[in-house]
Amino acid sequence: MSLTMVERLLEERKSDYLQQLFALLKQKSISTTNEGVRECAELLLEMMQSCGIQSRLMETAGHPVVYGEWLKAENTFTVLIYGHYDVQPPDPVEEWQSPPFEPTIREGRIYCRGVGDNKGQLMAQVLAIKTYLDSFGELPVNVKLLFEGEEENSSPHLAAFVAEHKELLACDLVYTSDGPMHGSGIPSVELGVRGILGVEMIAYGAKWDHHSGNMGNIAPNPAWMLIDLLRTMRDEHGRVLIEGFYDNIRKPTAYELDLFRKLPFDRNELIEQIGYPDIEEDSETYYRQVSLEPTFNICGFHSGYGGDGSKTIIPAKASVKMDIRLVIDQDPDDIFQKLCSHVRKYAPSINVLHQGDMRPSRTSAELEIVKVVVEGVGNAYGIDPLLVPGVGGSLPDYVWTQILGVPSVMVPYANADEANHAPNENMVVELFYKGISCTCHVLHQLGEFSKKKNDL
Amino acid sequence: MSLTMVERLLEERKSDYLQQLFALLKQKSISTTNEGVRECAELLLEMMQSCGIQSRLMETAGHPVVYGEWLKAENTFTVLIYGHYDVQPPDPVEEWQSPPFEPTIREGRIYCRGVGDNKGQLMAQVLAIKTYLDSFGELPVNVKLLFEGEEENSSPHLAAFVAEHKELLACDLVYTSDGPMHGSGIPSVELGVRGILGVEMIAYGAKWDHHSGNMGNIAPNPAWMLIDLLRTMRDEHGRVLIEGFYDNIRKPTAYELDLFRKLPFDRNELIEQIGYPDIEEDSETYYRQVSLEPTFNICGFHSGYGGDGSKTIIPAKASVKMDIRLVIDQDPDDIFQKLCSHVRKYAPSINVLHQGDMRPSRTSAELEIVKVVVEGVGNAYGIDPLLVPGVGGSLPDYVWTQILGVPSVMVPYANADEANHAPNENMVVELFYKGISCTCHVLHQLGEFSKKKNDL
């Protein structure tokens, strides 16, 4: 069965599909501040139902899951498609060239908060199912869809949800489209993510701000307290000094290292993409640092006056927010305990808050099902995709590999410079359509694989 | 000549004088953000004129000076009264119990931004002149008044103004009421201030914020750059590591040290006043640290996300604002150069901005004119005032001692817990009236002193 029909239908419906995406984009769904999240879930539910997917909202202890399924395939193979409908806050809003929640097309790109991360990729999957169903009246394999509303807040309730609904979610493969494509523009099939531990550390000085002259050298300065603590946690080369932080890091296999070395790398392109000239990494260091090594990132540090001019105070409070990316087999609980012990030792008066975490994941690159997906993606884009053992970002991929116990592959549909989490987030319009096509091709290839297995 | 008449008139006019102060308080005059500053100058000008002071606005390169004079005294002695009509920004506004620019009386205190620092003290002086003139038809000495509008922004144009108008401003003594009274509630005569150097250091990473997963370990983090720099500038005990920072610090005289030791000190009261339990200073350490030792204060550190929840980014920018209090004879220009050299050596990519500075000052405690002021203040409050060789805050006092070359005394009228520069700034109502009375008594005593000198 060829996919010419699917491609023709997609071509005809481009403008209609774009309108559907825009409708979802306009609906805010900022999970960290709880703006419009449920409204967005309800809108997505309607859209999925109108695409022929039997769908429902399922409650969690936080924002709802939108679950859908189509289970009438002739074979028993089931793929579960995962994505998220929540988005990051749009700050700093003043740096957006068009309002963050008004989708705007400029030079072939859609600019909007959440377009790449993850609404554009999510809608590509939903619309692929519609296109496939409208082309053939059926899908080549059984499909389940699970879209959560808390991914940008570290998916605090997904693991419990999956554990609770293991039977409902039972499948042979999990398929996720999220994150940016490789910088080379070549599609990729990714097999693991870094985990994450989010913490906030708050230092309190006096009960209120003080005049820095009248109380200077007397009232304590919490910004200095935090800096003094942070300097005990990390040396100036970036090495983390918390005891045991690097324990349990699993060495990559020879095959994985080989795959890493085969990945394209263009330093000038990377420099352009990052917007920073002093990038000294070569291919191997780059991939090793970005996917096999943990980070110790400050994502926010705030204390005292930040407006124009100056305000001569001793601040009463200082806060640092950190997101620490973890690699397999670091355990967020273990790392959090080690961090707390460190703080107790060096600055016991500083409060440590746990903001969320996610375990790292890895699927073996040597599985047959991985090769099937690679083939489907290759057919869609007309080029062999890159096979990537691990990427730098964090997704709750471990809930599939560890809780459901199935392989999990990630095939990002958004451009490498999508600026996810940043101002002027965008997605190339053609890549949105290509994503729809890709999901169709992967479903098709999975169908062929299942037929062959049934035949044996 | 007794001052019974003055005291009676003041008693009668209390409510009227309070209304005049309220009118000035309601007029915003935030110099750092330029809100309402000129409007406030014009309002103050009118008020001074209506008090019988020949007044005018005088332009500077920044906000205008309000200058006034009464020069019809029988003797040649001239006192110049200095103050400022600008105020600090009201942030954090949400911590105010009543709106920051609506003067509100609660439990005998006026709550309003600028009431203690410096409008209440400034109006006490203006209204003292009115009260004295209305009582006796003349003042006992010549009086000049100079109220500037940039003190909260480090008085960037005052020195040039004074240098340019030396003849106009010629006088025998400068008298300033600013800052809080001593914690004991005993009035004081203060003879010197710390200087200040305000700097902002900005680190730039990539051109825009990055996703901390996709670019973690690759895109540089400017918050860490700043922290790495700051850790080279100051050790964990607070000692500044910038080369030569402590050079040129003048040792106090034996008489000054003796005066320090005589000052009252109540640790529990200080703990209450600061709102922090771990204050270990004894009397001598406290006064030494707060007035004879420089500070290295962070008044603001801002980078990345500071809202609720988390936002997993590598920030593109980090900024630290510092105010460094200097003691005599540290020179702000010299310290700034040393700081810049340090940054060039350890983190040359970090930008250093000069935000303003002010030299420290000191007037000899052994001058006869100081004793005259002490006597006047003592008469007003009915208690011997403390004689304080130096205080922790910064005022442009050096323009009098160094540019005009005259002695300068500071007699604060606001309560010790005025919360200047902080939310819920306040001034005890009775201390406002006491300030009016005090200025009258000091003028009177200066008149007696001049007569005696003329007689000799």
Which one of B232, B239, B297, B350 makes the best mutation probe of the A interface by having the most chain A beta carbons within 10 Å? B297
Give the whole-angstrom CA distance, residue A452 versus residue A444.
13
Q: How distant is the alpha carbon of residue A450 from its chain centre? A: 29
Residue B240: which pLDDT band, with cuts at 50, 70 and 90?
very high
- Residue B285 gets the label, from left (phi > 0), alpha (psi -120 to 50) or beta, of alpha
Give the whole-angstrom CA distance, residue B63 versus residue B80.
20
- Give the residue carrying structure tokens 């700093």: A92
Contacts of B150 in chain A (CB under 8 A): none
Taking CA atoms, what residue in A is nearest to B287?
A218
Inform me whether the C-beta atom of residue A118 falls under 8 Å from chain B C-beta atoms: no
* Contacts with A254 (C-beta within 8 Å, 6 or more apart), sequence order: none
Query: 3-state SS string over B14-47?
Result: HHHHHHHHHHHHHCCCECCCCECHHHHHHHHHHH
Inform me whether the C-beta atom of residue A231 falls under 8 Å from chain B C-beta atoms: yes
Give the whole-angstrom CA distance, residue A157 versus residue A288.
30
Inspect the interface and report whether the beta carbons of A311 and B421 lie closer than 8 Å.
yes
A residues 71-110 near B, CB within 8 Å? 88-89, 91, 95
Q: What mean pLDDT is predicted for residues A7-33?
A: 97
At B302-337, the pLDDT tens digits run 999 999 888 899 999 999 999 999 999 999 999 999
Secondary structure (3-state) at A411: coil
| β-strands B78-84, B173-176 pairing | parallel
Q: How distant is the alpha carbon of residue A258 from its chain centre? A: 25
Give the whole-angstrom CA distance, residue A211 versus residue B116.
13
Other beta carbons within 10 Å of A416: 18
Q: Would you say how long chain B is, in residues?
A: 456
The DSSP string of B97-154 is SS-TTS-EEETTEEE-TTIIIIIHHHHHHHHHHHHHHHHHSS-SSEEEEEEES-GGGT
At B376-412, the pLDDT tens digits run 999 999 999 999 999 898 889 999 999 999 999 999 9
Q: What mean pLDDT is predicted for residues B410-424?
A: 94
H helix count then E strand count, chain B:
13, 19
Give the whole-angstrom CA distance, residue A153 versus residue A61.
13
Contacts of A326 in chain B (CB under 8 A): none
Is the C-alpha dihedral spanning A405, A406, A407, A409 positive or negative? negative
CB of A61 within 8 A of CB of A72? Answer: no
Give the whole-angstrom CA distance, residue B262 versus residue B188.
12
**Per-residue DSSP letter, A304:** E
- Give the residue carrying structure tokens 């720099």: B229
Smallest CA–CA distance, residue B282 to chain A, in Å, is 11
- Residue A9 gets the label, from left (phi > 0), alpha (psi -120 to 50) or beta, of alpha
Identify which of B39, B49, B127 has the alpha carbon closest to the alpha carbon of residue B83.
B127
Inform me whether the C-beta atom of residue B35 falls under 8 Å from chain A C-beta atoms: no
Inspect the interface and report whether the beta carbons of A206 and B274 lie closer than 8 Å.
yes
Inspect the interface and report whether the beta carbons of A290 and B214 lie closer than 8 Å.
yes
CA atoms within 13 A on the CB side of A181: 20
Inspect the interface and report whether the beta carbons of A293 and B224 lie closer than 8 Å.
no
Give the whole-angstrom CA distance, residue A110 versus residue A124.
14
CB of B409 within 8 A of CB of B190? Answer: yes
| β-strands B54-58, B109-111 pairing | unpaired
Cα angle for residues A195, A118, A71 (degrees, 5° grid): 95
Inspect the interface and report whether the beta carbons of A314 and B293 lie closer than 8 Å.
no
CA distances from A407 to A44, A364, A366, A377 (A): 27, 8, 11, 17
At B192-227, the pLDDT tens digits run 999 999 999 999 999 999 989 889 999 999 999 999
* Contacts with B404 (C-beta within 8 Å, 6 or more apart), sequence order: B80, B162, B166, B169, B170, B171, B174
Residue B453: which pLDDT band, with cuts at 50, 70 and 90?
confident
| Predicted local distance difference test score (pLDDT) of residue B270 | 86
CB of A127 within 8 A of CB of A443? Answer: no
Other beta carbons within 10 Å of B51: 21
Contacts of A317 in chain B (CB under 8 A): none
At A246-259, the pLDDT tens digits run 999 988 888 988 89
Instruction: Evaluate if residue B261 carries a pLDDT over 70.
Output: yes
Domains, chain A, ranges and CATH? 4-193+361-455 (3.40.630.10), 195-249+294-358 (3.30.70.360)
Inspect the interface and report whether the beta carbons of B301 and A318 lie closer than 8 Å.
yes
Inspect the interface and report whether the beta carbons of B212 and A420 lie closer than 8 Å.
no
| Predicted local distance difference test score (pLDDT) of residue A456 | 63
At B167-199, the pLDDT tens digits run 999 999 999 999 899 888 999 999 999 999 999
Inspect the interface and report whether the beta carbons of B297 and A314 lie closer than 8 Å.
yes
Which one of A421, A424, A425 makes the best mutation probe of the B interface by having the most chain B beta carbons within 10 Å? A421
Which one of A298, A322, A350 makes the best mutation probe of the B interface by having the most chain B beta carbons within 10 Å? A298
| CA-only gyration radius of chain A, Å | 23
| Predicted local distance difference test score (pLDDT) of residue A154 | 80
Inform me whether the C-beta atom of residue A373 falls under 8 Å from chain B C-beta atoms: no
| CA-only gyration radius of chain B, Å | 23
Q: Which residues of A160-198 are buried (b: 16+ CB within 10 A; e: fewer)?
A: ebbeeeeeebebbbbbbbbbbbbbeeebbbbbbbbbbbb
Inspect the interface and report whether the beta carbons of A231 and B236 lie closer than 8 Å.
yes
Inform me whether the C-beta atom of residue A361 falls under 8 Å from chain B C-beta atoms: no
Instruction: Evaluate if residue A49 carries a pLDDT over 70.
Output: yes
Give the whole-angstrom CA distance, residue A198 versus residue A193.
16
- Say what percent of chain B tops pLDDT 90: 81
B residues 157-216 near A, CB within 8 Å? 179-180, 193-194, 196, 198, 200, 205-216
| Predicted local distance difference test score (pLDDT) of residue B456 | 63
Secondary structure (3-state) at A364: coil
Inform me whether the C-beta atom of residue B219 falls under 8 Å from chain A C-beta atoms: yes
Give the whole-angstrom CA distance, residue A418 versus residue A400.
26
> Which of A227, A276, A310 comes nearest B206 by C-beta?
A276
Other beta carbons within 10 Å of A272: 15
At A202-232, the pLDDT tens digits run 999 999 999 898 899 999 999 999 999 999 9
Give the whole-angstrom CA distance, residue A88 versus residue A110.
17
* Contacts with B210 (C-beta within 8 Å, 6 or more apart), sequence order: A274, A421, A422, B219, B313, B314, B316
> Which of A227, A274, A311 comes nearest B215 by C-beta?
A274
Instruction: Evaluate if residue B1 carries a pLDDT over 70.
Output: no
Contacts of B236 in chain A (CB under 8 A): 228, 231
ipTM: 0.78
| Predicted local distance difference test score (pLDDT) of residue A252 | 83
Q: What mean pLDDT is predicted for residues B90-113?
A: 96
Identify which of B373, B396, B296 has the alpha carbon closest to the alpha carbon of residue B338.
B296
CA dihedral A274, A280, A286, A291 (to 10 degrees): -70
Give the whole-angstrom CA distance, residue B224 versus residue A296.
10
Inspect the interface and report whether the beta carbons of B311 and A32 lie closer than 8 Å.
yes
Q: A72 φ, ψ to 5°?
A: -105, 20
Identify which of B97, B115, B114 has the alpha carbon closest to the alpha carbon of residue B106.
B97
Q: What mean pLDDT is predicted for residues A270-294?
A: 86
Identify which of A107, A134, A389 has the alpha carbon closest to the alpha carbon of residue A253.
A389
Instruction: Evaluate if residue A147 carries a pLDDT over 80.
Output: yes
Instruction: Evaluate if residue B455 carries a pLDDT over 80.
Output: no
Inspect the interface and report whether the beta carbons of B297 and A212 lie closer than 8 Å.
yes
Inspect the interface and report whether the beta carbons of A299 and B289 lie closer than 8 Å.
no
At B335-374, the pLDDT tens digits run 999 999 999 999 999 999 999 888 999 999 999 999 999 9
* Contacts with B272 (C-beta within 8 Å, 6 or more apart), sequence order: none
Inform me whether the C-beta atom of residue A137 falls under 8 Å from chain B C-beta atoms: no
The DSSP string of B270-298 is HHHHHT-S-----HHHHHIIIIIS---EE
Inspect the interface and report whether the beta carbons of B211 and A421 lie closer than 8 Å.
yes
Burial class from Cβ neighbours inside 10 Å (0-12, 13-18, 19+) for residue A40 reads: buried
CB of B432 within 8 A of CB of B413? Answer: yes
Peptide bond into B329 cis (omega under 30): yes
Identify which of A24, A94, A17, A15 has the alpha carbon closest to the alpha carbon of residue A424.
A94
Average pLDDT, chain A: 94
Inform me whether the C-beta atom of residue A362 falls under 8 Å from chain B C-beta atoms: no
Give the whole-angstrom CA distance, residue A217 versus residue B51.
41
At A334-375, the pLDDT tens digits run 999 999 999 999 999 999 999 988 899 999 999 999 999 999
Smallest CA–CA distance, residue A93 to chain B, in Å, is 12
Average pLDDT, chain B: 95
Query: What are residue B356's DSSP bridge partners?
Result: B198
Secondary structure (3-state) at A374: helix
Inspect the interface and report whether the beta carbons of A208 and B286 lie closer than 8 Å.
no
> Which of A198, A234, A289 comes nearest B218 by C-beta?
A289
